Amino acid sequence: MSRLMHAVVACAASALPLSDTPMPAPARLVPLLVAAALFMENLDGTVISTALPAIASTFGVPSSTAGLGMSAYLLTLAVFIPASGWAADRFGTRDVFVAAIAVFTVASLGCALSDDLAMFVTCRVVQGFGGALMTPVGRLAVIRSAPKADLMRVIALITWPALVAPVVAPPLGGLITTYASWRWVFLLNLPLGAVGGVLAWRLIANDRANAPPRLDAAGLLLSGIGLFGVMAGVEALGQPKPLLAAGSACIGVGATALWATVRHARRSPQPILQLSALRLPSFSVSVVAGSLTRTAIGVAPFLVPLLFQVGFGMSAFRSGLLFFALTAGNLGMKTFVTPILRRFGFRRVLIVNTVGVALSACACALLSPATPLPFILLVMLACGLTRSMQFTCLNTLAFADVPKSEMAGANTLFSTAQQLSMGLGVAFGALALNGAAWLREGSLASDSGVGHPVGDFRVAFVLVALLALTSLPAYVRLPRDAGATLGTRT
């Protein structure tokens, strides 16, 4: 298992561009360690998707019911991320990060040993709690320790887990389930968590606030209800047979709670979600407009495999192989992100690349079963390249102008928005497919993917392109010197 950890770290290291002033060895190891831990957490969020039938068989329940384990994990992530900034300020980044790894790892063991659905779902909730602290606190440890001049490089590094994990998770989960057991999906986390926890304790500084704030219980409750309601609502609407009344009610309650959260944050002296960083154009654009782009980008891991398997009739194995071209684009772009941003600046890159994201979605809409294989691979590569560039730009620009004193609050708000937008991506893809089916025949498809011809996918990809373009005006209005503190061209 140590080889797997070394492979993850080596892959991460290859994504870290070199510079004329390399970071000191300990400083370089921190982002590598955090990237490996975040890969473990991101992978776990989606790897069980292909293992659900086997899990359902073990527990003697339908696959749709076993899916509660996946939903419980993602919803718990969304609910508890707002508490991460307070926890880091109160107990220290190292202590919280190590504790989060420990909770996540022990819960993984509980998932592997579960003998009924109730125990499995409970352990997934505990896993989600650990993951909700691990991701934002790990990012906070990196951006607090990195000088501004190195911020682009380290953000590029810790961004790749969110890009790669959703792509490799389904085939990896299928491989483990087919040739071993679904329980090994979770047992693999044990050595990774043990090694990661020890290294984190030795390498990460335990930074904490001089005067830790009190926990904003009211804000945490409001934000939890809001995030849970919105996520649960869109998931209900994105089902093959949408629960229109329940989904709409959940979204209504969630939106109201989020509105109340914002009002509370503006009045409270120490809110759980601090909005002060939104005064900075670079941060507000990365959070608000960036959420629209992330939602569009988050559709790909859901929609593309369905297109290949349902629309084109490919096997799951062949579909996975083609989808790996998107992974190659994700990783391949990492080498070029820093020099491109230094040469052209964030504003121009975001404008051009957003158009590229939309065009790559339109290119997916042009694919058919008769499309030559090289062209399909080229389209997947383009999707990966633009996806990687957009993620890295937004994740780096967000913290370019944030003062050190506000970094924890800004990171919490950014992590919350990112988790929400990525979760909405899958729901948007499902809604787009269902909407296309309704336009085509006046009724919704009876099952996810089943009954969806290629034409439905074309409509869905065009809608994804339009969603991506809605963020373009905000990028155009960015100051020309946005991100100049990181050494980019204005």
Where residue 3 falls among pLDDT bands split at 50, 70, 90? very low
Other Cβ atoms less than 10 A from the Cβ of 337: the count is 23
Cβ count near 372 (within 10 Å): 8
- Determine the pLDDT at residue 213: 79
pLDDT of 320 > 90? The answer is no
Say what the pLDDT of residue 238 is: 67
Query: How many CA within 13 A on the CB side of residue 406?
Result: 18
CA distance 206 to 94: 4
pLDDT over 80 (residue 285): yes
Higher per-residue pLDDT: 439 or 278? 278
pTM for this model (two decimals): 0.78
| Residue environment code for 60-76, b if the CB has 16+ CB neighbours within 10 A, otherwise e | ebeeeebbbbbebbbbb
Contacts of 47 (CB under 8 A, 6+ apart): 169, 170, 172, 173, 185
Distance CA 390, CA 325 (A): 17
Confidence of residue 6 (pLDDT cuts 50, 70, 90): very low
The listed CATH number (3.40.50.620, 3.90.660.10, 1.20.1250.20, 3.55.50.30) that belongs to domain 276-490: 1.20.1250.20
Name the pLDDT band for 110 (thresholds 50, 70, 90): very high
Closest by CA position to 155, among listed 285, 273, 345, 17 = 17
**More confident of the two residues 15 and 218:** 218
The pLDDT value recorded for residue 47 is: 74
Task: Report residue 417 as tokens.
Answer: 């928005």
- Tell me: the pLDDT tens digits for 115-162? 999 999 999 999 999 999 998 898 888 887 777 777 777 777 777 777
**Could you tell me which of 427, 435, 436 has the C-alpha nearest to residue 302?**
427
pLDDT value at position 348? 92
Q: Is 10 helix (H, G, I), strand (E, B) or coil?
A: helix
- Could you give the percent of the chain with pLDDT greater than 70? 88
pLDDT at 281 over 50: yes
φ and ψ at 208, to 5 degrees?
Answer: -145, 165
For the cut 50, the answer to whether the pLDDT of residue 9 exceeds it is no
What span, in angstroms and rounded, lies between the C-alpha atoms of 73 and 47?
12
pLDDT of residue 17 exceeding 50: no
Is the four-CA dihedral 354, 356, 358, 360 of positive or negative sign?
A: negative
For the chain, which residues make up each domain, given as ranges? 1-206, 219-271, 276-490
pLDDT of residue 19: 41
* Beta carbons of 27 and 217 less than 8 angstroms apart: no
pLDDT of residue 27: 59
447 pLDDT tier (thresholds 50, 70, 90): very low
* Residue-level pLDDT at 15: 40
Crossing angle (nearest 10°) for helices 68-80 and 25-46:
140
**pLDDT per residue as tens digits for the range 42-72:** 777 767 766 777 888 889 887 667 777 877 8
SS3 state of residue 19 = coil
Say if 1-206 and 276-490 have the same CATH topology: yes
Looking at residue 472, its pLDDT comes to 94
Query: For the chain, what is the mean pLDDT?
Result: 82
Helix (H/G/I), strand (E/B), else coil: 275: coil
> In terms of DSSP H, where are the helices of 298-315?
300-306
pLDDT of residue 424: 82
If one compares 271 and 334, the residue with the highest pLDDT of the two is 271
- Give the rounded distance of the alpha carbon of 126 from its chain centre: 19
Pick the CATH number of 1-206 from 2.130.10.10, 1.20.1250.20, 3.10.20.30, 3.40.50.740: 1.20.1250.20
Sign of CA dihedral 457, 45, 88, 37: negative
CB distance 346 to 474 below 8 Å: no
Q: Which residues contact 222 (CB under 8 A, 6 or more apart)?
A: 257, 258, 260, 261, 264
Given a cut of 60, whether residue 26 has pLDDT beyond it is no
pLDDT-derived band at 462 (thresholds 50, 70, 90) equals: very high
pLDDT for residue 443: 56
Structure tokens belonging to residue 485: 């503190």
* Mean pLDDT on 229-253: 81
Token duo for residue 368: 């058919």
| Ranges of H-type helices in 92-150 | 93-113, 117-145
Residue type, position 170, single letter: P
User: How far does CA 127 lie from the centroid of its chain?
Assistant: 16
Q: Rounded to an integer, what distance in angstroms lies between the CA atom of residue 430 and that of residue 234?
A: 10
- Residue 448 clears pLDDT 70, i.e. is over it: no
- What is the separation, in whole angstroms, between the first and last Cα of the chain? 46
pLDDT at 12: 41
pLDDT at residue 342 is higher than 60 = yes
- Reported as a single tens digit per residue, the pLDDT across 200-212 is 898 888 888 777 7
| pLDDT surpassing 50 at residue 298 | yes
pLDDT at 35: 83
The pLDDT confidence band at residue 234, using thresholds 50, 70 and 90, is confident
Task: Determine the average pLDDT of the residues in 253-280.
Answer: 90
Which residues, at least 6 apart from 29, have a Cβ–Cβ distance to it below 8 Å?
199, 203
pLDDT for residue 490: 56
